[in-house]
Structure 1
């Protein structure tokens, strides 16, 4: 596959985004939503308290995800690892990564917070300034093909420079395996961005639509506020 490179001029993703104005759009389950979309709720399988066996997204984000899946070559699917994420799960992830940094010898709290900010959004119950996954507009995903999940260079939730979306674009003389990983990331990036999502540059698997981070990159207004709990009909 001859796939264009992932562009280097990604917008500054550290800028302070505007508060979200909630549009009232419902969330939908992704199981059975499209034959080109599979789910593997990673945090549920890892046993995180509060994690759901289903993956949910806002209706508009789900529609765009189906569009992205339709852009894949025949025989390929998107595999969704996480969508809407409760405050409980977000808090658990944040504290777990914090403790792992401390175990590695990090002692300066300011430096710890800065490192955390790169990879795990600070938990928030502010509905106008939610963490991305609390809005239902953020999705973590990969691609599967005829021979299984595509090689992406790292596992999901790898907190290293290898996880940066463009990491394999910067290798001057890539090996055959590195070219394969680079092209797989390119495929995911281009189908998702063509469908209207934006990528978080530190994580090849993380894409957003309608969120505050998406608004910063697209110069639009965010319209997905926070959702603190699932409707009873979805639980």
Structure 2
């Protein structure tokens, strides 16, 4: 059984992923700012605590947990994300930085903490967006979000090269539309072809086996526009 860390676990894909891994017998550390929804499950295979990617004290808490309790991480799923839907000219520098703090710097920080605890066959999966893929259809109002999602695609490619001899493996999934609260914020009224559970099931399988076939790869997981 694997030890799995999932960020953004309070709702949507992260919440469903946490349940899938835990129900299959894996040990899950489910991290999110609001830990109450996942705590309410009272699942014996899920550990959770309040965690904010943008705060140093949360990162220290994760470091201490790994040092003192788990000692190993087999799978890290960087699923947490921050959306800002606003015209570019109306976005303040502070708002732009806040998106990057979660979607880029937070991903880098959590990954940096986990790597020393990961075996050669470990797997880091980062959830990006089709909006961050070069040449994909772009939508106004998502300049901070989409550009940040492009940044983690490049970060994944670089880390895979940097750790190709020692592991773990790194891959990034650019998701299309999934029926989540975040999608509703970005595209009000749009009905996505996939539910959170359906995408979570795909991610579950990929996190467990994808590193046997891919390393440093961007996979576009989308059947629609957006």
- When the two structures are superposed, what TM-score results if normalisation uses the length of structure 2? 0.26
Indicate the structure (1 or 2) with the bigger Cα radius of gyration.
1
**Structure with the higher helix share, 1 or 2:** 2
- When the two structures are superposed, what TM-score results if normalisation uses the length of structure 1? 0.26
- Which has the bigger relative contact order, CA under 8 A and spacing at least 6? 1
